[in-house]
Structure 1
Amino acid sequence: MKRTTRIFFSLCLVMVAGLVFTGCGGKDDPAPDSKKATFKFTVTVAGADNKDQVDVRVSAGNHDASQYGSPVWKINGVTQGNENVMILDIDNFVGGVKTYVVETVKPFNFSGLSVGVVNNAQVPGAVTISYKAEVDGKVETNVQNVATAASQSYNKEYTYVAK
């Protein structure tokens, strides 16, 4: 009985040792793609009033923490704080045709764009939105003159990576 227990214990010890020495390879997982690009978004809204809802969100980030604590965005040429997400809402778009250019201050690994329009008007009249996304100066998305009729909505979400 002692001999069987000793053999069983020895086999278990050999198996555990084999797993310890072979279970973890010397090669780590590949690092995330480190390519970086500048991102620029142009958004134009026409026909919005205080009863409508317009939400535009842009975000950018890196695979490391290098964007934290430094400016990320410019809006119409004015550098913003160190916010990695910029939000434009109905207050930015009321009163005629309003256009905003939101661009990164420096290159990033990835970015995102979210646009949403809800036309809450009870009378006829559309809220129109146009938007364009550029990655390193190359147009990736270009949507023009999407009209949202009374009591209708429009929502899109996009993601972009440096190439």
Structure 2
Amino acid sequence: MKRKSSIFFSGGLLLMAGLVFTGCGGKDDPAPENKKMTMKVTVTVAGADSQDQVDFSVEAGNHDASQYGSPVWKINGVTQGNEDHILFDIDNFVGGTKTYVFETIKTFNFGHLNVSVVNNTEVPTPVIISYKTEIDGNVETNVANVATASGQSYNKNYTYQPK
């Protein structure tokens, strides 16, 4: 009788061990989606002078290192180097109205737009900015004619992901 109990006990342990190591069967967890998007940002600045601070920063990337070593952005149709982050500052916007179009060359997992304006001049002329972001051809952000008066500032940060 003792021998039957120990066989049943040993068999039960083996059965439990087998279940623990193999799990419940069924499907494995699904792999996370790796959605990608294109990004296009158009910025326009008017009324800026060399005393002001105007910064537009665009960034795009993937959840792996696949964006490194190849071009990421076009600016006004001209392919840039392999920079995943582009910063345009006051030097790019002094002297009349300036418009730039930043476009990703391929698809990415995420993107960012950072906007910062500080009107440092004592002249009562405002710095006027407009910017629009399109994700996969659809307008996500559209800000027009924001006037930043002398002594004032304007800051916005946006994050974009594929839908």
Shorter-chain TM-score category? 0.7 to 0.9
Pairwise CA distance, 1:28: 8.0
- Percent of aligned pairs with the same residue? 71
Aligned pair in 2 of structure 1 residues 28, 150: CA closer, same or farther (>3 Å)?
Answer: farther
The equivalent residue for 2:43 is 43
Pairwise CA distance, 1:33: 3.0
Does the Cα contact within 8 Å between 1:32 and 1:63 map onto a contact in 2? no
Unaligned regions of 5+ residues in structure 2, if any? 1-16
The equivalent residue for 1:141 is 141
Matches within 5 A, 1:1-163: 31-163=31-163
Partners in 2 of 1:125 and 1:92 — Cα distance? 19
Question: TM-score, structure 2 length as denominator?
Answer: 0.82
Aligned pair in 2 of structure 1 residues 68, 148: CA closer, same or farther (>3 Å)?
Answer: same
Pairwise CA distance, 1:94: 0.3
Partners in 1 of 2:56 and 2:30 — Cα distance? 34
Partners in 1 of 2:157 and 2:24 — Cα distance? 39
For 2:51, what is the secondary structure of its paired residue?
A: coil
Pairwise CA distance, 1:37: 1.0
Partners in 1 of 2:24 and 2:55 — Cα distance? 48
Q: Which amino acid aligns with 1:60?
A: A
Q: Which amino acid aligns with 2:39?
A: F
For 2:151, what is the secondary structure of its paired residue?
A: coil
CA RMSD of aligned residues (A): 2.1
* Post-superposition CA distance 1:85-143 (Å, at most 9, x none): 00000000000000000010001011000001000011201000000000000000000
- How many aligned residue pairs are there? 145
Unaligned regions of 5+ residues in structure 1, if any? 1-17
- Give the number of the structure whose alpha-carbon radius of gyration is greater: 2
